[in-house]
Structure 1
Amino acid sequence: MRDDLKAALRSLRQSPTFTAVALTVLTLGIGSGTAVFSVVDAVVLRALSFDEHDRLAVVLEHDPTGKSVFGSGHTTPQTYQDWRRMQESFDGLAAVSNSSFQLKNENGEPAAVRGISVTWEFLPMLRVAPILGRNLAPEDEIDGRHRVVLLSYGFWQRRFGGAPDVVGKTIDLSEASYEIIGVMPRVFQYPVAAERPSEVYTPMRARNEDKVRGGSRNFNLIVIGRLKNGVSLDQAGEQMNRVAEALDREHPKWSPGRRARVITLQEHLVGKVRSWMLMLLGAVTLAS
C-alpha cells in the first residue's frame, strides 16, 4: 500500500485542485473520521450534478483478452455510428473527443484553448442548456457548414468580459473563424473534477473517410448514453456486447475480438479521483 500511496501522491502533485483536497483530508486526519469521509464524499459525489446522473453511462470498446490496450476504451467514428444505430438500451448515444485550439491573447501572442468536440446530443443528454444562445443542432455537424462554438462561462468572462451580446460574434480559433452560438452555465464544466475543464465546445464533424469501414481507424471517441427507464447497467452492458459481437462478425478485420462494456459516467470521470481519495483516507485512518 505504501508504494500505491506514493504513486497517488506523485499524481496528485501534478494537479493543484486534487492536491488541495488531499491536504485537507490529511489535515482533517487529526480530527474525526466522519469529517475526513465528508471530504472524500464531496469530491466523489458532488462532481456529478447532472439530472439523474445515475442513469448516465459510458460505452467503452475493449479487448477482453487483455492483449491490446489500444484506444483505452475509445472507439472510432464508424463504430460509434453503428452503436448508435443498433443499440436498444439507451435513450440515445453521444460522442465526445478532446480537442485544442490556438487563440491570440490580448498581446497578440498565441495561447492554448482547451476544448472538446461533441455530437449535438451531448448537452441534451446531460440535460444541460446554455444560459445564452442555443444548443448545438444536427445541422451544425454537416461538413462544410460554417463553424460554430459554445463558450464555457469562465472563458466568456475572461475573453469577453461577460458581454451579454456575445452571441453572434465570431472568434478565431486556430486561424479558423467560429460563430459564437451560446454560453454554458457557470456551474457546468466537462470533464467534471478536472483541473483544466474545457473552455470551448465545438460540433463533431466526421470526415467522409471516417464514415465508412474502409477509412482510417481513429480511436478518439468516448461514447456516453442515458439509460432507458427500466434498463439496468448490466442489461445495457450485455446488449452492447451483443452489438459488438455482431459488428465483429460483420467486419472481422476492423478491430477483431474487441467488445463493449458499460460503466457509469461517474466511474469514468471520477473513478481515478475516488481511488486517490480512498487511499488517502486509508493512510489517514492508519496514522490516527
Structure 2
Amino acid sequence: MNWDDMRFLLAVAQTGSLKAAARSLDVDKTTVSRRLRAMEAALGRQVVEVSGQGLTLTDFGRRLYRPAEVMRDEMQAVAALAGADTGGALGTVRLTAVPMVINHILVPALSGLRAAAPTLRLELIAEARDLSLLRGEADIALRLARPTEGGQGVLARKLGDLDYAAYGARGAVQDLPWIGYEPRMHYLPQAAAITRAAGAEGAAHISVNDAETLFRLVCCGHGKTLLPRIVGDAEPRLVELPFTHGALPRREFWLMVRRELRELERIRLVVQWVERTLASLPSQAQPTRPPDHRDNGSHP
C-alpha cells in the first residue's frame, strides 16, 4: 500500500467528512475518496463508513488510527533530522467543550499556549453535544460531568468543581425575571435550580438551550440566571444576586484524553495549558487532593 494514504485516514477521522478532510489537506474531495479506496483495496478491509455522525472509521480503521499517528510523527522527525523545512510544526490538536467554556475560559488564556507552542495548530470545537474521542471527533474534551464514554480507550481526570451563583445586569431594575433552559435540559443541575426558583417567584418568560445565549440575555438586562462563578465574576456588566431557593448547584470539571494520544508532545502541551488555566481561575473549588488519571468508566 501507499503509506502516505494514512494521512487521509487521519484527516477523515479528525474531521468526519470528505469535504472537511479535503479542506484540511488542501486537496479536492475526489482525491480523498480515491486515496481511501486505494488504501482499502490494498489492505483488503474497509477503513471508513457512513454513519449518522457523517464519515467515521470502521472498527478496523480505528485500530489503524494510532499507527497512523505514529507514522506521521515519525516522518516529521525524519524530515527534521534531514534538515527539511518542516517549520517545526507540532501538528494539530482538536479540543472540544461547551461554548461557555471555550469562549469564557479557554479563549482569554490562549496567548499562553501560543507563546509556549507557536507551531501548534489548535482546533477549538465549541459544541453543546459531547463529541466522541473514540471516533476521532476530538483528541481532548472538557466535560462538566463525570464522563461515561470510552472504557479503557479514554483517560479521564477530574480537575475541580464549578460553583454557580445568581447574576443579573449591573444597574438593572429590581425583581428581574428568571431566564432558564428549555424543558429538555432540566436534567442539568443549574437548569433544575432555575426552574425551582422561577416556580417560587414567577414563571420564566424566556428559555434557551445554550448557556452562552443565557449569558448574553442576562448581560443585556433581560433577566437573571445562574452562571458559573468563574464566568459571572469576571464579567463587569454583571453583579451577583442573592439566591434563596435552596443550595446553589456545583458541577464537576473533567478532562478527557484519548489513551493512545497521551504521550504525544502536542497533547501534553495542551493538557498542561488547560490545567494551568483552570488552576489560575478565581471562584473555582479545587480538588482536595491531586487528581489521578483514571480509566473512564471505572471507579478506583
- Give the TM-score, by structure 1 length: 0.23
**Comparing both chains, which one has the higher relative contact order based on Cα–Cα distances under 8 Å and sequence gaps of 6 or more?**
1
- Give the TM-score, by structure 2 length: 0.23
